[in-house]
Structure 1
Amino acid sequence: MKTNLMLIGAALTLSSCSLLTRTADPVSVTVVGLNDFHGNLEATSFAGVKIPDPADATKTVSLRAGGIEAIGGYLAQERAKNANLVFVGAGDLIGASPVTSSLLRDEPSVLALSRLGMKASSLGNHEFDQGFKELLRMQNGGCDSNDTAKACKFENPYPGAGFKWIGSNVVDKTSGQPVFSPTYVENVGGAKIGFIGAVLKDTPGIVSPDGIATLNFLDEASSINKYVPALKRQNVDAIIVLIHQGGTATDGFAQPACGTLAGPIVDIVNKLDPAISAVVSGHTHQGYNCVVNGRPVIQGDFYGHLLQRLDLTVDKANHKLLSIQAANVVMDTRTLPKDAGMTALLTKAKSLTDAVKLTPIGTLATASISRTANAAGESALGDVIADSQLAATKDRGTVIAFMNPGGIRADLNATAADNTATFGDAYAVQPFGNTMTVLDLTGAQIKTLLEQQFDNPQAGSSRILQVSSGFSYSYDSTAAAGSRVDASSIKLNGETLDPAKSYRVVANAFLGAGGDSFLAFKSGTNVLQLPNLVDVDTFTAYLKANPALAGGAQNRITKTK
């Protein structure tokens, strides 16, 4: 008996060893990622690559890159080389989109990515722009939308996404359970690649609160790590994080294994489980290909200008990663083939929206009004938008307008002849459809509001509000927190604000609800919501009323140090 037991024990030991040291069975898998697409069905200008100006060889212009035709052409080209290709996203696939997608409730964009074979994407903050219920419709399909004028106009009924949004850190407030699947596993070429999704935990501060009132957004790293054991039990061969949070790097997008990455993503990655092989990131609209704590961390600019590419060799017998290479690939419209199916989809979307998009609304003094801020944080376009909101609400007694710079999504470019701006041009600047909120703030509350611009947690540093004509102030960025704005410099039409006096102000509903951590708005009184007055409408009305419109002089905000 003793001998038999020993033999049995030896056999078990040998069996266990054989399980741990199976002959390697390698397979190559390509993971292609897209971040911050924002419904840009068409190619746009990519400042990361300059090419000779076709009209003047002595000058350069930005390359036009991205768009579903080029992305589709690239994916087809690469699938022909390696059928083991997985197309995924890192959030903000929809929201803040151009007219061609947004006027159709971003359904063309979701359908395009679905038909391009996307398998999964992390949630992004902009996926929540229209609220949780509408996001569920975007995932699951149907026409029960909070904007029936736009929903199901591209395809009726709207069939829903062919990919899965995933989010490990978005949970129901009552149950504590994830409202989307935390993970996704793709079987490809006999290998199993596991994905874990997450969105920045600060999402509640940058979307309208009413739409996410039932949700909590948890710490990213701990939420991601929570689901690693479950993927291991499924014997995945590699684990990749898709996360809508990022950083900045001084190296260019094409610099491999950069080591200069900074920002929230670095802290998150440093806390991740060692079993995680790579991180596909987003949110900060940067192009970088870095290494943090031995793992590739990559982001592909925005609007589909770049696709992130991870080439993996995995051992599917022993369920481990053998090698990984990361690169950003330019979606160069000059060299990539066009996807015929995507051309047809784009043509249909344009046919349904071009009449509105191309409607002339006004003229500019120059071809463009820039949203680029000066040293004080004020932009020529920010001045114009604040002035437009004040003009639209003066009959409600407003004297000051405030505009969040993050809501200004593009320069105002006159794309038609003779510096004529179209509705599409204006919509590209303000695509959110925010309504206006009017309220009273005291002079003291306005001082608090201005102090909240600095060390702003939603911006990572400072976020300077754009202000209307007649309002001015100065600040010292080196002063102590809470005392950076000189109270005596805060003036309205040349008179210093009285801390005890109430002033009628206007802002979009996002800001009015305390968005971007400007919580002073929530202390306002005599609040008036204007549901029929939308930001882009105030903007277009102002353009119509002011022919040959010039940008603001950027002299309302002064930075002393």
Structure 2
Amino acid sequence: MNSLSKRSIPLLLASLLAACATPQAPHRTSASSSQSPVEIGIIAINDFHGALEPPKQSVNLANPDGTFTGVPAGGAAWLATAIDTIKAAHPNHVVVAAGDLTSASQLASSLYLDEPAVGVMNRIGLEFNAVGNHEFDRGSAELLRLQNGGCQKNTRHEPCRLEQFKGASYKYLSASTIKDDGQTLFPGTGLKTFDTPAGKITLGFIGLSLRTVPALVSPDALKGLRFADEADTINALVPKLKAQGADAVVVLIHQGGRTPDFNDVNGCKQFTGDIDPILDRLKPGVDVVVSGHTHWPYVCERAGPDPARPILLTSAGVYGELVTDITLRFDPKTHALVAKAARNVIVQSQPYTGSRGSISNTDRVARFAPKPEVASYVKRYVDDVVKETSRPAGHLSGPAIKTEGEGSWRGGPLGYLIADSQLGATRKLGAQLGFTNPFGVRTSLVPAKDGTVTFGQLYAVQPFNNELVVQTMTGAQILALIENGLDDQDTRQVIAPSANLRYSYDMRRPSGHRVVSLTLDGKPLVPTAKYRVASNSFLSEGGDFFVEFTQATDKVRAGIDVEAMEAWLTAVPMRQVPNDGRVTEIK
């Protein structure tokens, strides 16, 4: 995520992920005799994204006057304690996830190929995880290594840098990810049986990715794989799980939706999303769907195939800031599922100071102490990454300055350098030009006297782990997005282009008509022609109000922005700071 004033609304959306006004004290099982319903707890997370340390984001609680109180949330050690607390309320329990536990991660996880994120999940007792789109970012061979362990090198980064990697103790599930030989990349289903006072009760799990993974991941990472229809896959597997003795079926799927009210972590009003068409096509037999992908928290009852038995649909937001506590109740004689309920629990962690000021702890929801074992494990990686931040990551001919003050809305040399690096990294995917947003540039890049820049400096410039996206746009759309940055609505941004795109503008002209000239490789852009444009994922999703990017088509994701910058700098002995006239203001 990245931006400044023009990103005020997206920042608010991110920081107001949810509000929880429901009590969060642990609840005890009511199964005290063979005549009482038997309770089984499902503890669910999604979209952890290697958030080893608290992400310095808040979940909001509604106040009686209509305002909100931010609750500092997230961090692996606090998440571990929250999960332990919920486990204590459910003698019979299972911990599951709906994907994207790794990649697009914090530096202390990302630089170690997310081995520590897997290590955290092992320590919190995760048992099943549906493979999300981000789990494919480094390719299927590397994903298989995360499951099976070992130190095979599948990327340009070295594995096992801090310790021998033993792999995930939990099981990846990928029911809809099909290899060339017709087999799934990982098993599609799993079973867990509980010995209860009423006898054995079994839960069946189906785990799968969203069908549109190929639109979200670089094609090179998906060679030899195809992604089947989600609903068809689920419908085919439910009878098989029932035949194996499953008393209830739980789907873990990396797809989801959202509600207009981002302040209610347990709400479902006006819910919409790509998960809905999947649910609409399910046949009877699915009881719970644990979802993700949208980073949105919710607890819903969706009609599904049988309105008399609605499907319980949940999501726990993002970065381990929430965890979903799901309770299933079974008839002790027939083992039929008779009731189900869920609530999202805020993982309150340590206070911090952010863009909205100081975010303090509150007694309105449970406070969780960091679990010592997990805290100690995370600290090893956080301390070790300091060495990585100081390593050389290329050479630059001079300072690439981020313009401050009144000129901060101009991309300038550093913005140009980033746009060039992103185009360079995506040429192989057909990119013809690149853009970056000035407000996504966080600090100047000033090399040492010999031109050396460190990886820590690069990460400080772009600390968001944004993915690169290549998308198709028309010449008219490209013109419109440039005009958007120059108009009189919201804060201006002179969007920074790659070296082969040049434009001039005149702020004396009417808003919406300020671009005077626009060329690519020396030729005017044709309004009806189609071009492949590289950007970061924040822009691609309409960030900083550049809504024109949301109209783009044929989107393909490829790598991380800071890695593209390092590759660009190290490709030559000394990278020159852009000092050309690619953007000119006519005065």
Same fold flag (TM > 0.5)? yes
Are 1:354 and 2:386 counterparts? yes
What TM-score do you get using the length of structure 2 for normalisation?
Answer: 0.66
Match of 2:518 among 481, 491, 495: 491
Q: Helix, strand or coil: the match of 2:56? A: strand
Paired residues for 1:77-88 under 5 Å: 77-88=85-96
Shift of 1:468: 0.9
Are 1:27 and 2:38 counterparts? yes
Shift of 1:86: 1.2
Contact kept? 1:91, 1:127, Cα under 8 Å: yes
Residues 125 and 490 from structure 1, CA distance in 2 versus in 1: closer, same or farther, beyond 3 angstroms?
Answer: farther
Contact kept? 2:61, 2:263, Cα under 8 Å: no
Structure 2 gap segments, 5+ residues each: 1-33, 304-309, 351-366, 394-399, 445-453, 482-494, 506-511, 538-548
> 2:313 corresponds to which residue?
297
Output the CA distance in 2 between the equivalents of 1:546 and 1:348. 36
% identical aligned pairs: 27
Shift of 1:315: 3.1
Contact kept? 1:97, 1:431, Cα under 8 Å: no
> 1:315 corresponds to which residue?
331
> 1:125 corresponds to which residue?
133
Residues 489 and 167 from structure 1, CA distance in 2 versus in 1: closer, same or farther, beyond 3 angstroms?
Answer: farther
> 1:460 corresponds to which residue?
none
> 2:566 corresponds to which residue?
537
Residues 86 and 320 from structure 1, CA distance in 2 versus in 1: closer, same or farther, beyond 3 angstroms?
Answer: same
Shift of 1:94: 0.3
Contact kept? 2:473, 2:530, Cα under 8 Å: no
> 2:169 corresponds to which residue?
162
Residues 508 and 390 from structure 1, CA distance in 2 versus in 1: closer, same or farther, beyond 3 angstroms?
Answer: same
Shift of 1:188: 3.0
Shift of 1:321: 1.2
Q: Which moved more, 1:491-500 or 1:195-204?
A: 491-500
Shift of 1:226: 0.9
Output the CA distance in 2 between the equivalents of 1:129 and 1:521. 12
Contact kept? 2:40, 2:328, Cα under 8 Å: yes
Contact kept? 1:360, 1:423, Cα under 8 Å: no
Paired residues for 1:403-552 under 5 Å: 403=435, 422-426=457-461, 428-430=463-465, 447=475, 468=497, 471=502, 491-492=518-519, 497=524, 499=526, 507=534, 518-519=553-554, 534-537=563-566
Q: Helix, strand or coil: the match of 2:566? A: helix
Output the CA distance in 2 between the equivalents of 1:223 and 1:393. 37
> 2:233 corresponds to which residue?
223
Shift of 1:333: 0.5
Match of 1:95 among 76, 89, 103: 103
Paired residues for 1:220-259 under 5 Å: 220-252=230-262, 254=264, 256=266, 258-259=268-269
Output the CA distance in 2 between the equivalents of 1:381 and 1:329. 41
Match of 1:184 among 187, 190, 207: 190
Residues 48 and 546 from structure 1, CA distance in 2 versus in 1: closer, same or farther, beyond 3 angstroms?
Answer: farther
CA displacement, residues 53-100 of structure 1 (integer Å, 9 cap, x when unaligned) = xxxxxx998543111111111122222232322111110000111110
Output the CA distance in 2 between the equivalents of 1:491 and 1:34. 47
Residues 229 and 348 from structure 1, CA distance in 2 versus in 1: closer, same or farther, beyond 3 angstroms?
Answer: same
Shift of 1:521: 9.8
Counterpart code for 2:191? V
Output the CA distance in 1 between the equivalents of 2:233 and 2:412. 38
> 1:343 corresponds to which residue?
375
Counterpart code for 1:447? G
CA displacement, residues 433-481 of structure 1 (integer Å, 9 cap, x when unaligned) = x7x99xxx9xx9963985999xxxxxxxxxxxx761765699xxxxxxx
Match of 2:52 among 37, 41, 50: 41
Counterpart code for 1:177? Q
Are 1:331 and 2:337 counterparts? no
Residues 326 and 80 from structure 1, CA distance in 2 versus in 1: closer, same or farther, beyond 3 angstroms?
Answer: closer
Residues 287 and 519 from structure 1, CA distance in 2 versus in 1: closer, same or farther, beyond 3 angstroms?
Answer: closer
Output the CA distance in 2 between the equivalents of 1:386 and 1:101. 29
Contact kept? 2:321, 2:347, Cα under 8 Å: yes
Q: Helix, strand or coil: the match of 1:31? A: strand
Output the CA distance in 2 between the equivalents of 1:117 and 1:521. 34
Shift of 1:297: 1.4
Residues 382 and 268 from structure 1, CA distance in 2 versus in 1: closer, same or farther, beyond 3 angstroms?
Answer: farther
Structure 1 gap segments, 5+ residues each: 1-22, 53-58, 371-378, 454-465, 475-484, 523-528, 548-552, 556-561
Shift of 1:201: 0.4
Q: Helix, strand or coil: the match of 1:75? A: helix
Contact kept? 2:202, 2:245, Cα under 8 Å: yes
- The alignment's C-alpha RMSD in Å is 5.0
Contact kept? 2:326, 2:342, Cα under 8 Å: yes
Shift of 1:520: 9.8
Residues 43 and 234 from structure 1, CA distance in 2 versus in 1: closer, same or farther, beyond 3 angstroms?
Answer: same
> 1:196 corresponds to which residue?
206
Residues 50 and 261 from structure 1, CA distance in 2 versus in 1: closer, same or farther, beyond 3 angstroms?
Answer: closer
Q: Helix, strand or coil: the match of 1:151? A: coil
Residues 505 and 229 from structure 1, CA distance in 2 versus in 1: closer, same or farther, beyond 3 angstroms?
Answer: closer
Contact kept? 2:296, 2:318, Cα under 8 Å: yes
Match of 2:292 among 269, 282, 285: 282
Shift of 1:496: 7.0
Shift of 1:34: 1.1
Shift of 1:503: 12
Shift of 1:536: 3.3
Counterpart code for 1:39? G
Output the CA distance in 2 between the equivalents of 1:337 and 1:144. 36
Shift of 1:384: 6.2
Residues 62 and 422 from structure 1, CA distance in 2 versus in 1: closer, same or farther, beyond 3 angstroms?
Answer: farther
**How many equivalent residue pairs?**
459
Shift of 1:364: 5.2
Q: Helix, strand or coil: the match of 1:402? A: strand
Structure exhibiting the larger radius of gyration computed from Cα positions = 1
Contact kept? 2:473, 2:532, Cα under 8 Å: no
